[in-house]
Amino acid sequence: MPTSRRLAALLLLTVGAPASAQIHAPAAARPVRLPAPAAAPADAPSTGRLVAGGLLGGAVGALVGGGAGAAIGGGRDCDAERWVCALHGAMAGAAIGTSVGIPWGTHLAGGRRGPVVASTLASLAIGAAGVAVMRGSHYDPPWTPVALVATPVAQLVVSAALERRGR
């Protein structure tokens, strides 16, 4: 038998047989099987529905809170003209109304699954942080426009996440 055939036969015999390390792998070398991630329930609300509910709730909250704030601010004695006091009250009321309306709108749109009190408190805290940023920048750019956009977006994201997570 030629040498090349002997080498080929020897190679085939050694390749076909598994090594002893391949037969009995230690537990540490075995592949780890992770549990499958928990899927959202089939009846879980969609993100679009939660966002739409939060936007609607925030708009209603801004209107109701702004109207109440204008009525309260315009009816009190202040150093400026009455309309200026009403405007300040309307802005404060709209901020509070939006902070309450977003989580409640999200909660109602999500089928009342999440912790609405925790979501409302988180939204009020985010709103207070936004007001603090604006006051700290003396209502001047660049931070005031950033806070005016980022605050309700953060409130909406947190409210939707808490509602989606459930109780």
pLDDT tens digits, residue range 10-28? Answer: 656 666 556 555 566 566 6
For residues 161 and 60, the answer to whether their CB atoms sit within 8 Å is no
pTM (predicted TM-score): 0.72
- The pair phi, psi for residue 75, each rounded to 5°, is -95, 0
Give me the residue spans of the domains in the chain.
Answer: 47-165
Report the share of the chain in percent with pLDDT over 90. 58
* Per-residue pLDDT reduced to its tens digit, 93-115: 999 999 999 999 999 999 999 99
Cβ atoms within 10 A of the Cβ of 140, count? Answer: 9
For residues 89 and 71, the answer to whether their CB atoms sit within 8 Å is yes
